[in-house]
Amino acid sequence: MISEKEIWNVLQEVMDPEIPKVSVVEMGIITGVNINENNFVNIKMTPTFAGCPALDYMKKDIKVKISLLPVSGVNVEVNFDVQWNSNMITDRGRELLKESNFALPNRHNGFVEIEMLTKVECPFCNSNNTILQSTFGPTQCRAIHYCNNCLQSFEQIKPI
Amino acid sequence: MTEFDVTKMKAIKDLLFRMADDELILGHRNSEWTGLGPILEEDIAFSSMAQDKLGHALALYTLLQQTGESDPDTLAFARKETELKCCHLVEYPIGDYAFSLMRHFLFDEAEALRFDMLSDSSFTELANVARKFRGELKYHTMHAETWLNQLGNSNEESLLKMQSALNKCFPLSLGIFEPSDFEKELVESKIFAGEKVLQERWLEKIEKVLNKANLKIPKVNSKDASYGGRKGSHTEYLQPMLEEMTEVYSIDPGAEW
């Protein structure tokens, strides 16, 4: 029998294709791992945003990598039983996002206010002298900001 | 899957189709701004909101599939115009930016409130999806409200353009709330509190934003509401859009990409 820990270790190697340093585990999008008596693995995942186009890619990647383990089969189920929010990014995930030059979403109590998107700390120089340029960015989960201190544009993982 | 009897299941499917078709069609319309937005940030905003809408459509069509309907691609691309249940507001061409912004405002405020209401639905799977969507929609309504405020308080020309967009969009937007044949079932079984309640909440919400933007809701009477879409009777704009949207799919339905 394969152990749940072995599955989580492999999931740790499945990266978000748009942020290759950060794994699906660190992004907090894996919401369940189940191994039945026949050694069949069922993995539950949920998207950061409902229309995330990277989801299919990650789903396939998980299937391929888990299939290499001694298991009888693997299924990846996408659902909204647990709804992703930005608080679910792990501490390690937050460190890695910062290393990838992303500003972080503030941890929140479930309600996102516009104030959380202003005066975001610049990932390059740590200044708070920044302005929000657009709440929509290159992917659904990112907003665009500008730092008046180091004169750089930067992206933030949106609080949601 | 939460269990419901046959009539309630019909009511649920009707509700899901209305919502999913709105998302699909408006998502497609919003995507028509890609590459044409008046400034880069707006180009990105409309493209990103289009992507969210298609994501919502996919999740809702997936729920339909779980209730026994076809797969999401078939539901989205292989149904005839008369089988679609979208409202007229979402069918109109993008027009000028004032029209698209106003439509986005009126529709997304209603959508945000709808999913707020549905997040306590007795149909658990839908409640879960609704809870997810309302977080995303916060960004849409924030975007719409910022622009309405900006343009309504800018100069005479921008105010005039926004007011004329509102005059055109408002009767169309009432079609969002076209009563369904299943209102009673939906309300009684606590699946959805109904279109009437939603419309009241929506009016209250949009009036606040419009007031701040110096915009006035035009006087309309009940027969001006653009009804019919929910029953499969559509504007002249839907069919040409469907032909374009399904052009590739129709060459080889069911092809693996």
Site of tokens 């339905």 = B253
Residues of chain B where predicted confidence (pLDDT) is lower than 70: none
Please identify among residues 36-95 of chain A the ones whose CB lies closer than 8 Å to any CB of chain B: 46-47, 49-53, 79-81, 83-85
State pLDDT tens for residues B72-94. Answer: 999 999 999 999 999 999 999 99
Coil, strand, or helix at residue A119?
coil
Cβ-Cβ pairs closer than 8 A, A with B, add up to 72
State pLDDT tens for residues B177-200. Answer: 999 999 999 999 999 999 999 999
* B73 shares contact with chain A (CB less than 8 Å): no
Region A112-135 average pLDDT: 90
Q: What are phi and psi of A148, to 5 degrees?
A: -75, -15
Residue B137: per-residue pLDDT:
95
**CB contacts, 8 Å: A114 with chain B:** 142
Can you say whether the dihedral through the CA atoms of B169, B170, B171, B173 is positive or negative?
A: positive
pLDDT at A8 over 90: yes
Confidence of residue A121 (pLDDT cuts 50, 70, 90): very high
Q: How many CB atoms lie within 10 A of CB A118?
A: 12
Average pLDDT, chain B: 96
Residue B47: per-residue pLDDT:
96
Residue A149: per-residue pLDDT:
97
Q: How many CB atoms lie within 10 A of CB A119?
A: 13
Which residue of chain A comes nearest to B50, CA vs CA?
A: A51
Confidence of residue A146 (pLDDT cuts 50, 70, 90): very high
Work out the minimum CA distance from A47 to partner chain B, whole angstroms: 10
Rounded to whole angstroms, how far apart are CA atoms A67 and A41?
Answer: 9
SS3 for chain B is CCCCCHHHHHHHHHHHHHHHHHHHHHHHHHHCCCCCCCCHHHHHHHHHHHHHHHHHHHHHHHHHHHCCCCCHHHHHHCCCHHHCCCCHHHCCCCCCHHHHHHHHHHHHHHHHHHHHHHCCCCCHHHHHHHHHHHHHHHHHHHHHHHHHHHHHCCCHHHHHHHHHHHHHHHHHHHHHHCCCCCHHHHHHCCCCCCHHHHHHHHHHHHHHHHHHCCCCCCCCCHHHCCCCHHHCCCCCCHHHHHHHHCHHHHHCCCCCC
ipTM over 0.95: no
Rounded to whole angstroms, how far apart are CA atoms B83 and B86?
Answer: 9
State pLDDT tens for residues A45-86. Answer: 999 999 999 999 999 999 999 999 999 999 999 999 999 999
CB contact under 8 A, A47 and B44: no
Residue A117: per-residue pLDDT:
85
Q: Does the predicted TM-score (pTM) go above 0.80?
A: yes
